[in-house]
Amino acid sequence: MFIINPHSGKGESLKIFNKQVKPILDQCNIVHELLITEHANHASQFIESHPNLGDSYFAVVTLSGDGLLYEVLNGFTTSLERESGSKKVPVYLGSHHFCLTSRLKLFVCTGIIPGGSGNGLFHSINHIYTKGHKSHNQLFDSIMHIIKGEPTHMDIVRFTTMHNKVHYSFLSFGWGLMADIDIESERLRFIGETRFSIWSIYRSLRPRKYSGTLSYLTVDHANDYIPPLDAPLNERWVTIKDEFYLVYASYQQFLNSTCKFAPDARLDDNTIYLLYINTNVTPWQLLKFLILLEDGSHIDLPYVNFIAVKSFRLEPDSKEDIMTIDGEQIACSSVQAEIEHKMASILLRSG
Ligand code: ADP
Ligand code: MG
C-alpha cells in the first residue's frame, strides 16, 4: 500500500507517483492500493482503524518526508501499545511478523520514497545500499528498494513523556538549536531542503539558551533495567544540569541529504547517538558545528559531546521550548527515550 502526502516538500509527491513511480510498479506487476492523505493524521487514523492491515498488505510505503512515516509508525504502535497494555510481553500479529527480541514488533514492513523536504531515513538507507557512493538517481533507487528490497530490521526508539503520551521514532529527537531550525524553517517549506541551511545560519548567529537536566545511560550498560520516567535513576546514569544550546539524538546516519549526524550509525546497532553542546561556545563555533555536520566531522570538535547511549532522559526547565521527534513538533515536557532493538523493518535492497 502506498500513502502519499500531496503537500509534502514542494507539493509534488502525487505528480512524482503518477509520472515516475506508478509506471514502474505497473510494469513489474506490483499490485497496490493508494491512500492520498487529506489532512495531517489521516494516515495514522487510517492505520489505527484497520488493525489487520498486515493480512492484506506486504508493506506500507510512504511518499512524503519523514513526517508521514512517523505518522504511519505511530499508527501501528498505538494499536500495539493498546493491545499489550503496560505488560512487557512480545506481541506478534498478522502474517508478516518477525519473531525477534524486542517486546513489541511491527507486523507490517515499511518502505519510503523521498518526496518531502526532510528525507533522513531514505538517505540513511540508500547510503547503506550505495556503500557511501553518490546516488545518480535517488528516486529510482528508492523505487528499486520497494520492488527488489527485503524487509530489513530497524531499531526504533520509544519515548515516554510527562503527558502520558508514548511516541515511537525512527529518526531523531531534538531540543534547542536544531529543533528550532527544523520547526521555524517551516515557513520556507516552498524552497525544499535548502530551508534547513538558511535557517541554520540565522539561528546559530542568534542562539537561545535552554536550561534543564540531561541524564543518560551509555551502551556499556546495555542490559540495565530502565526505570520509568518518574522514578529515580541509579548511579550508572550520567546526569548534567546545565544551560545548553542544543540536545539532539538520532539512530540513523543522516538527518537529511546534507546532514551526516551519526557517521557510524547502523539500522540495527541498538544505539542512540546523543549529542549536546552547552553554552560555553561562541555563535561562530555553533555555526562551525552546523557546517561540519555535512560530512560528519562535527563529532571531533572539542566542544561537541557525542555519546552512544541506550537510554536518555531530558527534563527541560521550561515547558515552552520547541521539542521534536522525527522532525515533528511534540508538546514540551520531560521525556525519556529507550531503544527498541529491531522492532520495525524497512524494504532495503542489498548491495
Ligand atoms: P516534509 O518533509 O515536506 O515536511 P512530511 O512527510 O514530513 O513532509 O510531512 C509534513 C507534515 O504534513 C506531517 O506533519 C504530516 O503529518 C502532515 N500531513 C500529512 N498529510 C497531510 C495533508 N494531506 N495535508 C496537510 N498536512 C499533511
Ligand atoms: Mg517533515
Residue carrying the nine cell digits 535552554: 210
pLDDT value at position 26? Answer: 95
Amino acid at position 303, single letter: Y
pLDDT value at position 135? Answer: 87
Tell me if 118 CB under 6 Å of ligand 1. Answer: yes
| Ligand nearest to C-alpha 37 | 1
pLDDT value at position 222? Answer: 83
Q: pTM, whole model, 2 decimals?
A: 0.92
Q: Ligand 1 center to residue 45 CA distance, Å? A: 14
In tens, the pLDDT along 201-256 reads: 889 999 999 999 999 999 999 889 999 999 999 999 999 999 999 999 999 999 98
Closest atom, ligand 1, to C-alpha of 326:
7
Residue of 3, 4, 7 with the most ligand 1 atoms within 8 Å of its CB, for mutation: 7
Residue of 63, 68, 255, 326 with the most ligand 1 atoms within 8 Å of its CB, for mutation: 68
pLDDT value at position 84? Answer: 64
Q: Pairing state of beta strands 59-64 and 34-36? A: unpaired
In this structure, which residue's CA is closest to atom 18 in ligand 1?
40
Q: Ligand 2 center to residue 224 CA distance, Å? A: 33
Residue of 2, 5, 184 with the most ligand 1 atoms within 8 Å of its CB, for mutation: 5
In tens, the pLDDT along 44-102 reads: 999 999 888 888 888 999 999 999 999 999 999 887 777 765 433 333 333 333 333 34
In tens, the pLDDT along 268-318 reads: 999 999 999 999 999 999 999 999 999 999 999 999 999 999 999 999 999
